[in-house]
A and B are shown apart, each in its own frame.
Chain A
Amino acid sequence: MDVEIIERDGNRIRFIVEGVSPAFINSLRRTIMAEVPTMAIDEVVIVENNSVLFDEILAHRLGLIPLTTPEGKYGFSEDCDCQGVGCPKCNVTFTLKKEAGEGIAVVYSGDFESSDPEVVPVSPDIVIIRLVPRQRIEIEVFAKMGTGKDHAKWQPVTVSAYKYCMEFDFDSEKCTLCEDCIEACPKQILKREGDEIVCIDPLACTLCDACAEACDFDAIKINENDTKFIFTVEGLGCIPPESIVRQAAQILIKKSQELEEQMKTMSA
């Protein structure tokens, strides 16, 4: 298996994986979305809320705030010594108190005071609620580790997707150089070089087959390479994207080992 990173920008990473099956790459994609744990607000104690949003709506908004998650620092509270009750080892506490003075006050995610400076909202500018005079909220919230299969708020990514690499199959004997295919390509990645049509950027191809359909002489064929994939991961800022992929791979290894052991005990 070969992995080559082709793009790395902020929360986004794109890489090519070669020499694996579609089943493998799909299991990696699903593990990234459903199994990589992050921190998210899970319990809200509302001391006071006389704003226009109901307590439930407010709590739902709070839950969706992505939180930065230091790798390996916190475990699931079910596996903790407190047995899921919630303690400083598995929970992070945030407090927030705000009251509108004379004008309108905007409550931002940056107004939260966290018990752990490593676990904070990924952006301090998230608008939680707007308060008009005489309105105030006072809340205490608890964040804990969880996975995307329990609730989407724990997903570390917005995008975790792959596509097949393209193989451009050109038959120069059938081609009449009419250049219909070049015009048909929505990504404009086909070019004429001498007596040949070439693809200048195979990675940008969406495998739409428009060029092959435009060709009346069957000179072009677009083949999917099902052992080579372009994988895109776009994180939310909770965990760096390369760390998300690494953690997902480790989870997959652990799960395969568990399966192997189970099979051994069954056959024994």
Chain B
Amino acid sequence: MEIPIRCFTCGNLIADKFEEFAKRVKKGEDPGKILDDLGLKRYCCRTMIITHIEIIGEISRF
């Protein structure tokens, strides 16, 4: 639904980074490089961002 506030595994803050990630991926940048830029080093946090699907827009209509 909405991006979780924190990483499920380590508790790192991720909710402030997803918007930038999504925007830059759309522009065609390399996702791995964006995650490096955002300071997400561990694979737990990286997974949170990569695998997130934003469906809140679809649910909001109802």
| Residues of chain B lying within 8 A (CB to CB) of residue A130 | 2, 56-57, 60
Q: Does B25 contact A (CB under 8 A)?
A: no
Q: Nearest chain A CB to B2's CB is how many angstroms away?
A: 6
Q: Nearest chain B CB to A14's CB is how many angstroms away?
A: 13
| Residues of chain A lying within 8 A (CB to CB) of residue B11 | 152, 155, 158, 236
> Residues of B with Cβ closer than 8 Å to A?
1-3, 5-7, 10-13, 15-16, 18-19, 39, 56-57, 59-62
> Given A52-B56, A52-B60, A135-B60 in contact, is the A127-B13 Cβ separation under 8 Å?
no
Q: Does A125 contact B (CB under 8 A)?
A: yes
Residues 49-93 of chain A, each 1 if its beta carbon lies under 8 Å from chain B, else 0 = 001110000000100111000000000000000000000000000
Residue contact A61 to B61, C-beta cutoff 8 Å: no
> Given A152-B11, A159-B10 in contact, is the A132-B16 Cβ separation under 8 Å?
no
| SS class, residues of chain B in contact with chain A | loop
Chain A minimum-CB-distance residue to B6: A64
Count chain A residues whose beta carbon lies closer than 8 angstroms to a beta carbon of B.
Answer: 29
| SS class, residues of chain A in contact with chain B | loop
Residue contact B16 to A53, C-beta cutoff 8 Å: no
| Residues of chain B lying within 8 A (CB to CB) of residue A132 | 57, 60-61
| Residues of chain A lying within 8 A (CB to CB) of residue B60 | 51-52, 104, 130-132, 135
Q: Nearest chain B CB to A136's CB is how many angstroms away?
A: 13
Bound state CA distance, A123 and B5, in angstroms?
Answer: 11
Residue contact A122 to B13, C-beta cutoff 8 Å: yes
Q: Nearest chain B CB to A141's CB is how many angstroms away?
A: 14
Q: Nearest chain B CB to A130's CB is how many angstroms away?
A: 5
Residue contact A127 to B57, C-beta cutoff 8 Å: no
Query: Which of A53, A126, A158, A234 is within 8 Å of B15, CB to CB?
Result: A126
Q: Nearest chain B CB to A92's CB is how many angstroms away?
A: 18
Residues 123-158 of chain A, each 1 if its beta carbon lies under 8 Å from chain B, else 0 = 111111111100100000000000000001001001
| Residues of chain B lying within 8 A (CB to CB) of residue A52 | 1, 56, 59-60, 62
Chain B minimum-CB-distance residue to A132: B60
| Residues of chain B lying within 8 A (CB to CB) of residue A122 | 13
| Residues of chain A lying within 8 A (CB to CB) of residue B3 | 127
> Given A52-B56, A135-B60 in contact, is the A127-B12 Cβ separation under 8 Å?
no
